[in-house]
């Protein structure tokens, strides 16, 4: 399986509009990997897309994605769904096969309340919404795994003997059960740095202990926020600091083969 990070940013992009801090100023000058667009992941093997931030049209162009056949959503929050009009961009006036959108029953109800436009796009034949918890696409198995909250999911992705856990947000609520142990690759949101909040994911408070519990071969952090006041070079230094855990920090365009 070949995973490409189309966007590695969080709910606040880097550079942040109208912001003149050193992180944003540097990102405007240097571009990628200092620049980060909205969080999205793509499996190149079968044209599978996870989440649609506002930047998704730009991301698909930036990384030369030729086709999107399948779409999964982790939860309804705006930084993961606000770009759902990409369905219209991909399919309007093209008379092509619609994009398959896979939702759990609960997630479908959330989108009806929070993002009803997706059902309008289905009526126009831009997408086909399918309600399920797991599916096999070619040789890749993808299963929704409910987090310990009332709205978000992670994904268990397997092919043959390879296992990937993808939790783009709210990893504080990821329960380390037997099914998720010892993955080849763990992808999770980065979490807070500094003074961490009790009920919000923290990098040191929650994510490092989670890695030690799950014992992945490699861990990659994404959903990287401007407010952490760290640039690409700072994250490279953190990789060295925690090299015993074999962690990496994603950047836009990072590709990992499992």
* Superfamily (CATH H level) for 2-249: Ribonuclease Z/Hydroxyacylglutathione hydrolase-like (3.60.15.10)
- Return the residue matching tokens 């856990």: 165
In this prediction, residue 181 carries a pLDDT of: 98
In this prediction, residue 117 carries a pLDDT of: 98
Domain boundaries, the chain: 2-249
Can you read off the two tokens belonging to residue 97? 């096969």
Long-range contacts of 148-151 (CB under 8 A, 24+ apart): 148/173, 148/174, 148/175, 149/173, 151/75, 151/76, 151/77, 151/106, 151/110
Tens of pLDDT, residue by residue over 153-186, are 999 999 999 999 999 999 999 999 999 999 999 9
Distance CA 233, CA 237 (A): 6
In this prediction, residue 196 carries a pLDDT of: 66
In this prediction, residue 77 carries a pLDDT of: 97
In this prediction, residue 159 carries a pLDDT of: 98
Number of helices and strands (H, E) in the chain?
A: 8, 14
Tens of pLDDT, residue by residue over 73-90, are 999 999 999 999 999 999
In this prediction, residue 209 carries a pLDDT of: 96
Distance CA 163, CA 158 (A): 5
pLDDT means over runs of 10, the chain (258 residues): 98 96 98 97 97 98 98 98 98 96 98 98 98 98 97 98 97 96 98 81 95 98 95 98 97 98
């Amino acid at each position: 399986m070949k995973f490409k990070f189309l966007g590695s940013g969080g709910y606040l992009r880097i550079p942040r509009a109208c912001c003149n801090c050193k992180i944003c100023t540097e990102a405007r000058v240097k571009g990628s990997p200092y620049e980060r667009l909205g969080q999205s992941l793509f499996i190149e093997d079968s044209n599978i897309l996870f989440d649609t931030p506002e930047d998704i049209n730009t991301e698909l162009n930036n990384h030369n994605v030729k086709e999107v056949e399948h779409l999964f959503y982790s939860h309804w929050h705006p930084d993961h769904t606000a770009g759902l009009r990409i369905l219209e961009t991909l399919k309007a006036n093209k008379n092509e096969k619609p994009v398959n959108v896979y939702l759990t029953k609960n997630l479908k109800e959330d989108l009806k309340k929070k993002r009803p436009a997706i059902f309008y796009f289905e009526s126009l034949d831009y997408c086909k919404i399918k309600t399920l918890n797991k599916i096999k696409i070619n040789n890749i198995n993808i299963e929704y795994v409910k987090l310990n909250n009332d709205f978000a999911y992670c994904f268990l992705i397997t092919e043959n003997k390879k296992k990937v856990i993808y939790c783009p947000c709210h990893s504080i609520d990821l329960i380390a059960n037997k099914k998720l142990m010892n993955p080849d690759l763990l992808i999770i949101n980065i979490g807070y740095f500094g003074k961490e909040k009790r009920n919000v994911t923290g990098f040191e408070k929650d994510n490092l202990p989670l890695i030690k519990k799950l014992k992945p071969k490699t861990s990659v952090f994404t959903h990287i926020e401007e407010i952490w006041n760290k640039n690409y070079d700072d994250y490279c230094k953190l990789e060295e600091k925690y090299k015993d855990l074999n962690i990496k920090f994603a950047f836009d365009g990072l590709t990992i083969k499992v």
